[in-house]
Chain A
Amino acid sequence: MLKIEGLTAEVDGKEILKGVDLEIPTGELHAIMGPNGSGKSTLSYVLAGREGYEVTGGSVTFNGRDLLAMEPEERAAAGLFLAFQYPVELPGVGNATFLRTALNAIRRARGESDLDAMQFLKLARQRLKELHMPEEMLKRGVNVGFSGGEKKRNEVLQMALLQPRFAVLDETDSGLDIDALRIVADGVNALRGPEFSALVITHYQRLLEYIVPDRVHVLMGGRIVRSGGPELAQELEASGYASVQAA
């Protein structure tokens, strides 16, 4: 269970989150929708612990632990995964090396033993197959020279390998064609289960046709202004955010 209470945060001295309250029970997938500048990405970075995103009030607990007191890598080890809106390039770092290093770091934090290169390769190949991605993905530099769609798919591949307990997908659907969208959705849906929960941040309802959320929240002006079932997404698609503001 992820529990956010009265969360306020600022970036460069400007308050972006103005008191967010949100509960995502284990096993559920929630969506956050909202117009540009409403604080969606800020929320995802605050959850992941990025420098420069300063929490000024409120609390976030993850399965009872104080998430905000943890370093970014500790949050990752606790099972938090952020699929980046703009995945970062690491020149010269092979994707396989990166993935194996990350996986082993998290395994170690969980008290599990490292996977050697062969074990890793076997696992990675299996995941690639499930996600209908070419094996060549492993050989390239991390996100270097990837198209927008490839970068997003690479995020999903990482997620599939790291098997997080809680995933935040920050506009993973942006810039994806319909095939890529399906692959991303399949990747998320494959993880769904009683032990996995997720927060899907999106502009559009489109993604939510493939990843059907348990709950939908509308974030505007740094606050959750409305919550509802999956039908809320369709309503927003039809009438826009302005209607929410008016309501």
Chain B
Amino acid sequence: MSAVTETIDTVQSVTEGTYKWGFETDIDMEFAPKGLNEDIVRFISKKKNEPEWLLEWRLKAFAIWQKMEEPRWAAVKFPPIDYQDAYYFAAPKQKAKPKSLDEVDPELLRTYEKLGIPLKEQAILAGVEGAGEVPADSRVPVAVDAVFDSVSVATTFKERLAKEGIIFCSISEAVQNHPELVRQYLGTVVPQGDNFFAALNSAVFTDGSFVYIPKGVRCPMELSTYFRINAKSTGQFERTLIIADEGSYVSYLEGCTAPMRDENQLHAAVVELIALDDATIKYSTVQNWYPGDEQGRGGIYNFVTKRAHCRGKRSKVSWTQVETGSAITWKYPSCVLLGDDSVGEFYSVAITNNFQQADTGTKMIHVGKRTTSTIVSKGISAGRGQNTYRGLVRVLPGATQARNYTQCDSMLIGDQCGAHTVPYIENRCITAKVEHEATTSRIAEDQLFYCRQRGLSEEDAVGLIVNGFCREVLKELPMEFAVEAQKLLQISLEGSVG
């Protein structure tokens, strides 16, 4: 073979190879080509070896999405998103496992450390060879399912959970191993066409977590997922589905971090929770995604749909969120209270500093009799941050003796930020009772001086006062998360005073 022919062959094989797989492999990631079309949806589904019904489900979602328009009603501003200029699939490339933590990206470990993950678990999450399973008697029982970009890399504590019949795995695994459960529940809380971002997610979701708690089982540990957005220009579309069967209990923690990137990244997750008779789901989020720099450059767009169905009688869902990160947060964890005597709760802390914008809140839809809901929202604005609470309490005619209590408190730090409260209340039941309280305050000069006189720096003083302001919400967080959340509040407000 002549040198020329050889060259042509080589070039051909390389280019064809690239075309055939559609991968960029210059760094340790595998990408689907940029852009979004039916082929990408098929590619993702194929890549994940999904059954035909799920592909059809995705394609239907994609068809709906194409006809939809990006919502513009939220009080957030951002330049138009070019959905064709993003990658929709990025998986960490299989490569030789690191031999020890020394070989793991230190940035990654710092993130874990900040999140308070024990070292042993860090090693497992980072896929260190021989790190093995977390010992079942580990002091703080937290089962972790880590999602790096799109693919769930590691799941711990599986054996211990399996003994109880609990399923805790990535949703991709669930599709393979428990297709009947996934098919029965997926999209029943947030249908494909629910909203623009939910439709997008339904078409291209790549991974996420799946939890099933069998009848009468109290999950013996906190279940935890750490999402981390890694690759540049990658939208992250996780899909989480949690089903608590009759009389069961589960507490689920979701922690989110993203390293610094000078580019906006879209994050459009969907979380569906289903609580059957007498079941309780506690869902806690600490979101610390990159908020952009002091000039407002970069940062995550966090457009998330989270909803729970309290389907069973006396079922209960409690959302607790601490939102300190992201350039834009658009998020309304909601409860549809279908079962009689079911309970919905929403506890939220949202901080906006610099140029961050948050439009967040909840919806409580009272359908069943004697359903109750509690909303406690704490918004903190600093710098030029804009913070909006947007909530809906809807009581349907059949929800006799339904009760709602809403408390919205806003705190302003500095004079260039904003706090807005947009509560919608629709009560169509004469025996229902709906309460709404709202306050707006500033950190008083005498509070700061009092703390500083006792030796606290101004920033520590602000941190302490803000933590006090948020206490009602923070106390709802599981212990190990509460400490982390307190630190995050302080970190988020750095540079907001003085």
Query: Chain A residues in contact with chain B, CB under 8 A?
Result: 48-52, 71-73, 75-77, 81-82, 84, 87-93, 97-98, 101-103, 105-106, 109, 141-142, 158, 162
* A77→B469 CA distance, assembly (Å): 26
Contact B469 A87 (CB under 8 A): no
Distance in Å from the Cβ of A30 to the closest Cβ of chain B? 20
**Assembled-state Cα–Cα distance A216/B146 (Å):** 68
Given A48-B449, A92-B472, A162-B455, 12 additional A-B pairs, CB 8 A: A49-B453, A72-B449, A73-B452, A73-B456, A75-B453, A76-B453, A82-B453, A84-B450, A91-B469, A92-B467, A93-B467, A142-B468
Min CB distance A123 to B, Å, is 16
The interface stretch among B56-64, B66-74, B301-309, B457-465 is: B457-465
**Which A residues lie within 8 Å of B452 (CB)?**
49, 71-73, 76
Which B-chain residue is minimally distant from A168 (CB atoms)? B453
CB closest chain-B residue, reference A89: B447
Known contacts: A88-B446, A91-B469. The answer to whether A73 contacts B464 by CB under 8 A is: no
Determine the chain A residues whose CB is within 8 A of the CB of B460 once the complex forms. 101, 105
Closest to A110 in B: B455
Closest residue of chain A to B469 (Cβ to Cβ) is: A92
Across the interface, A105 reaches (CB within 8 A) one of B444, B457, B467, B471, namely B457
Residues of chain A with a CB closer than 8 A to B445's CB: 51-52
Tell me whether A141 and B468 are in contact in the complex, defined as CB-CB below 8 angstroms, given that A88-B446, A88-B447 are known contacts. yes
The interface centre, meaning the residue of A93, A98, A106 with most chain B CB atoms within 10 A of its CB, is A93
Return chain B residues, CB-CB under 8 Å to A49. Answer: 452-453
Evaluate contact between A72 and B472: CB separation under 8 angstroms: no
Among B452, B454, B470, chain A packs the most CB atoms within 10 A around the CB of B454
A101 touches B468 (CB 8 A): no
Is B465 a contact of A105 with CB atoms below 8 Å?
Answer: no
Q: Which residues of B contact A72 (CB under 8 A)?
A: 449, 452-453
Q: How far is the CB of A82 from chain B (nearest CB, A)?
A: 5
Residue contacts A-B, CB under 8 angstroms, 23 given: A51-B449, A52-B445, A71-B452, A73-B452, A73-B453, A75-B453, A76-B453, A88-B444, A88-B446, A90-B447, A90-B450, A91-B468, A91-B469, A92-B467, A92-B469, A92-B470, A92-B472, A93-B468, A97-B464, A98-B464, A101-B464, A102-B454, A103-B455
- The answer, among A52, A97, A141, A158, for a CB contact under 8 Å with B454, is A158
Interface of chain B residues 430 through 457 with chain A (CB within 8 A) = 444-447, 449-457
Chain B nearest CB: distance from A114 CB in Å?
A: 13
Q: Are B449 and A76 in contact (CB under 8 A)?
A: no
- Judge whether A90 and B464 touch: CB under 8 Å: yes
B448 to chain A, nearest CB (A): 8
Q: Which residue of A lies closest to B471 (CB)?
A: A92
Contact A76 B454 (CB under 8 A): yes
Q: Is the CB of B456 within 8 A of A101?
A: yes
Residues of A close to B454: CB separation below 8 A: 76, 98, 102, 105-106, 158, 162
In Å, the complex CA distance between A64 and B339 comes to: 72
A92 to B471, CA, bound (A): 6
Q: How far is the CB of B50 from chain A (nearest CB, A)?
A: 48
B449 engages A50 (CB within 8 Å):
yes
List of A residues within 8 angstroms of B457 by Cβ: 73, 105
The residues of B that contact A50 with a CB separation of less than 8 Å are 449
Q: Which residues of B contact A98 (CB under 8 A)?
A: 451, 454, 464
- With both beta carbons as reference points, the residue of chain A lying nearest to B454 in the complex is identified as A102
CB <8 Å contact, B464 and A88: no
Determine the residue in chain A with the shortest Cβ distance to B458. Answer: A73
Q: When chains A and B are docked, how far (Å) is the Cα of A27 from the Cα of B283? A: 57
Inter-chain contacts of A158 with B (CB < 8 A): 454
Instruction: Give CA–CA (A1, B470) in the complex, Å.
Output: 42
Q: B467 to chain A: which residues have CB within 8 Å?
A: 92-93
Give complex CA distance A49, B456 in Å.
14
User: How far apart are B438's CB and chain A's nearest CB, in angstroms?
Assistant: 16
Considering the chains assembled together, what is the distance between the CA atoms of A48 and B446 in angstroms? 12
A106 touches B455 (CB 8 A): yes
Q: Is the CB of B450 within 8 A of A77?
A: no
| Contact call A77/B446, Cβ cutoff below 8 A | no
B456 nearest CB neighbor, chain A only: A105
Closest 7 CB pairs of A and B: A92-B468, A93-B468, A92-B471, A102-B454, A76-B455, A72-B452, A88-B450
B451 contacts which chain A residues (CB < 8 A)? 90, 98, 102
Identify B455's interface contact among A51, A87, A102, A142, CB under 8 A: A102
| B303 CB, min distance to chain A CBs, angstroms | 31
Complex formed: what's the CA distance from A101 to B464 in Å?
9
Q: Contact: A109 with B455, CB < 8 Å?
A: yes
> Which residue of chain B is the closest to A75 with respect to CB atoms?
B453
**Within the assembled complex, what's the spacing in Å between the Cα atoms of A97 and B471?**
12
Q: How far is the CA of A46 from the CA of B20 in the complex (A)?
A: 76
List residues of chain A with CB within 8 A of the CB of B469.
91-92
Cβ contact within 8 Å between B450 and A87: yes
CB distance from B123 to the nearest CB of A (A): 27
Q: Distance (Å) between the CB of B148 and the closest chain A CB?
A: 34
Complex contact B455–A105 (CB within 8 A)? yes
Closest to A83 in B: B453
A90 engages B468 (CB within 8 Å): yes
Complex-state Cα separation, A81 to B455, whole angstroms: 9
The answer to whether B465 touches A73 (Cβ under 8 A) is: no
Nearest opposing residue in chain B for A50, CB measure: B449
Q: Which of chain B's residues has its CB closest to A93's CB? A: B468
